[in-house]
Chains A and B, each alone.
Chain A
Amino acid sequence: MLSSKLVLLAALAYVAILFAVAFFGDRQASKGRSGFLQSPLVYTLSLSIYCTSWTFYGAVGSAARNGLEFATIYLGPTLVFVGWWFFLRKLVRVGRVHKVTSIADLVSSRYGKSTILAVVVTLIAVIGTTPYIALQLQALTVSYQVVSHASAHLDPALLAAPDFSATFWIAVGMAVFTIIFGTRNIDANERHHGVVAAIAVEAVVKLAALLAVGLFAIVAIGDGIGGVFSGSHPRLLNADDIFGPRWVTLTFLAATAIICLPRQFQVMVVENTDEDHLRTASWLFPLYLFLMSMFILPIALAGLATLPASADPDMFVLTLPLFADQELLALFAFLGGFSSATSMVIVACIALSTMISNHIVMPIALRLPGSALSASGDVKRLLLVSRRISIGIILLLGFLYFRISGPSEALAAIGLIAFAGVAQILPSLVGGLYWRHATAKGAVAGLIAGCALWCYTLFLPSFGGSFLMSADVIANGPFGLSLLRPESLVGLSGVDPLVHALFWSLSLNTVLFTLVSLATRPNPLEQVQGRLFIDVFDSDRLDAKRYIQRSATGRDLFVLAQRILGADAAHHLFAKMAGQGGAARHEPVVDDAFIDQLERQLAGSVGAASARAMISQVTTGERISLDALMRIADETQQVIEYSQQLKQKSEELESTARQLRAANERLTQLDIEKDDFLSQVSHEVRTPLTSIRSFSEILLDEDDLEPKQSRRFMQIIHDESERMTRLLDEILDLSLLERGEAPLALATVDAEASLDRALDLSQGLASRLGVSLKSRERAAEAMVQADPDRLSQVFINLLSNAIKYNVSEAPEVQIWSQVSHGSYKALIEDNGPGIRPADRERIFRKFSRGWAQPQTDRSGAGLGLAISWQIMNRLNGSLELLPDNGRGARFLVSLPALAKA
């Protein structure tokens, strides 16, 4: 049997130890020797304030009533922590970069350092946390009575008559502890090393206590793990009942709570000393939750199996050892519960008092007349005093709540109601960190609407008609309007009240937040802050000083810093900042960067909104450069454009390379043609030269040549020279034509006349070779713009080719001509062997004799067609080889015909 004195003594001793630990922690930190206190392990343990007495006692009660459902409260945070890379990492980074002091500060800072938002979030936090603190006070009181009164643990009447005086003194004790260690000083980082050290110890104690009771339940009572479950009620494990909407909702709610609960935010973000600790906590904290949850179900089942039906399941953790006369174990369990309750209350009080002093007291003080008095440290004193008073008020509120509402049947219900209340912060918080278009007005609209619906559908009905809302309204709706019944809005009935309330409040919250954000425009400061929050990992561009320009005197700023931090701290800060800027000590350069940095430092003490308000009092000419902001906004766009430009450039390069390749190929081809041409020319020149040389050698060497023979030789030499001259003339002519330098005597002439002249001149050659020239249908008159001699040259060339290369039995050349559709066309057709298909393409190139076989050996050099082609080109006409029709070669000469005069 535990005497109440022994229990009290144990509790006091435990409290003394906590005081010592907190004192030790603060001392170590102030000496700068806080190595272990700033380890990932201590960080993780401090997160365990998530497990309050609601977990310690309430989870077992929940498991006894609803089976596995209790696990959702721990699975939600597990999912959030194993997914830290996605959300928590960003949250903690933002919190550290902007020296955020609370969740209200974060939301307000994101939305342009809005005071109204800070107030709204603070109020939600206070409304949501007060019942929660009441819950802890109740757990402390009841557990104390259970463990210290003989046989009281089985007496249901005890719950109905709690010892309120004990509650009161417990509350006073916690207030003293919190005030001593939570509001010792105003620090630019709002960190409480002593408190963190104490709650880390408490985290270990409560885990050890719960594990001890769990092992006891399994080994001593359940006779092994199988034994515990052997008598289990099938109802508790019924999958279809458990894994419904409530399972999903509770998991979501718990995941939200670990982010949005003010005390969770305090330890996770504000007290975070090193961002890297989160990496360890990402698996260590889920492991802590796993260990806490492991024995909940066995304890609940063992309690149900062995304790009388009248025993309260919420107290199984205590009553199970007591019933088995394990008094020391019961005392240990009591201390575990004591730990979980006190650590939660202490941190919640610190978080809330910071919010109240920064977001409610400070803005009011700044607006009061005469607030401009600037004694050193006045703001600091105001903050400390208001925080201390806030802590007292918060605990008093919690006590009154407990006193008025009386002991509640199920602890878990209050916890979930509080979760649903703070969950209203989630849309604005997440939207603020990821959504550029979120605005303060949208956040306020969503928060107020969500919070109002939460009050209407969950919080007020939870009093069962005893507070503000009557039982009649709960059952039938206000004024009998059944559509407005709080627990089945718009006829949505048959749903669990918690699922119902969360569905409506969060839906409306999110919808309003989104729509109002889209309908309103953020002010410049909101845009700057939004940018800084959303792109927090993009630290290169993160400089508020790039957007906000203002000026102030160093003296004014120093006075301001003194008011908030006190003289020593302000001196220290200015000296440090001056040293960074490279200026002489104590004389920092007051530029935009300096003011921005100072504002951030001060925000770490009084919150972003108040820091901004105070800095604004001493600065002048503030200008937010939206241009700079827009530039940053455009940078992403610019990157995209730049990459597109790059792509375009590379495409251009590619096309240039293609053209170069083509040009190169053409050049190579031309080079080959040039070589061919040269070798052709040498060859063509060499043949006559050889005969000229050999015949002139004969003439020189042989003195006794007959005159007739020598005359013949000289004739040959003459002919060959002529041929060579002709060749050289042709080459010259061609090159002139190719370069467009050949003189053309253009005149309006009759093309038919030129053709007739060519026929006349060719007649001799034709007769000599036995070829008949036949004029078929001829145009009467065809006036063209041309050089008549050149045109004749083309015809002569074509005719002589047709004659010379015609090797058929009855060689003949036929000529047609006509004027139609504004052009003159002359066709010269032979019945010779035709042009070899392989040569058809290069027939108009130099030295390309395409005829299968020349009729005479006195063929030309193969420049004729090339010259003709060039001439026709120069005359704006054309010369083409018609497709092979199996009857020799057909050349078509075309020229634009002039209208008849």
Chain B
Amino acid sequence: MAGPSRDKIESLALVLPFLGLFLLMPPAVLAFGVPAMIAGVPLIVIYLFAVWALLIVIAAWLARRLRPRAELERAMRDPAPTSGRDRPD
């Protein structure tokens, strides 16, 4: 199972905070500010924490798929060259 391509995952990672922003900011959040209760808990409380949990779950899923691609990337993350293979300029 290959799943979505790396490019698409990266795009999703860029979009995710904006999805959160949209859901957590007015006017979207106002739609749930009605005096309704679910199992004794106000709807708005449930909504906020549900969105929060959703963001965490999506972020975790994305994080699993955004693993560093290869050793090359790992080498690039380490700023100090670790061996004598300094690229000639």
Contact = CB atoms under 8 A, between A and B. Distances in A.
A229 B41 contact: yes
Contacts of A68: 44-45, 48
A interface, over-half SS: helix
B89 A243 contact: no
B interface, over-half SS: helix
Interface string A208-236: 00000000000000001111011010100
Nearest to A577: B80
Contact of A282 (B14, B33, B63): B63
Given A68-B48, A230-B40, A276-B77, A286 B89 contact: no
B48 A71 contact: yes
A85 B26 contact: no
A463 B58 CA distance: 43
A290 B49 contact: yes
B55 A78 contact: yes
Interface string B57-78: 1111011001110000000110
A543 B89 contact: yes
Nearest to A75: B24
B41 to A, nearest CB: 5
A237 B14 contact: no
A71 B24 CA distance: 11
Given A225-B39, A239-B44, A582-B84, A290 B89 contact: no
Interface residues of A, number: 59
Contacts of A242: 33
A226 B34 contact: no
Contact of B40 (A82, A226, A243): A226
A244 B25 CA distance: 9
A225 B29 contact: no
A597 B34 CA distance: 60
B7 interface: no
Given A229-B40, A276-B77, A251 B25 contact: yes
A79 B17 contact: yes
Contacts of B35: 234, 237
Nearest to B86: A580
A227 B58 CA distance: 32
Contacts of B13: 83-86
A85 B14 contact: yes
Given A229-B41, A237-B44, A286-B56, A82 B25 contact: no
A283 B56 contact: yes
A548 interface: no
A294 B52 CA distance: 11
**Residue with the greatest number of chain B CB neighbours at <10 A, chosen from A81, A82, A286:** A82
Nearest to B27: A243
A227 B37 CA distance: 12
Contact of A227 (B10, B40, B48, B52): B40
B79 interface: yes
Interface string A579-615: 1111000000000010001001000000000000000
A580 B84 contact: yes
B3 interface: no
Nearest to A537: B76
Contact of A243 (B16, B26, B59): B26
A226 B59 contact: no
A500 interface: no
Interface stretch (A92-100, A146-154, A175-183): A92-100
Given A79-B20, A279-B66, A286-B56, A580 B83 contact: yes
Interface of A: 68, 71, 75, 78-86, 93, 96-99, 224-227, 229-230, 232, 234, 237-240, 242-244, 247-248, 251, 274-276, 279-280, 282-284, 286-287, 290, 294, 297, 539, 543, 545-546, 579-582, 593, 597, 600
Interface of B: 10, 13-14, 16-18, 20-21, 24-26, 29-30, 32-35, 37, 39-42, 44-45, 48-49, 52-53, 55-60, 62-63, 66-68, 76-77, 79-81, 83-84, 86, 89
Given A237-B44, A274-B77, 12 more contacts: A85-B14, A226-B41, A229-B45, A237-B42, A239-B29, A240-B30, A242-B33, A244-B26, A251-B24, A279-B63, A290-B56, A600-B79
20 contacts: A75-B48, A78-B20, A78-B55, A82-B16, A82-B20, A99-B79, A226-B41, A229-B37, A237-B45, A243-B30, A243-B33, A247-B25, A247-B26, A247-B29, A248-B25, A279-B67, A282-B63, A283-B59, A286-B52, A593-B89
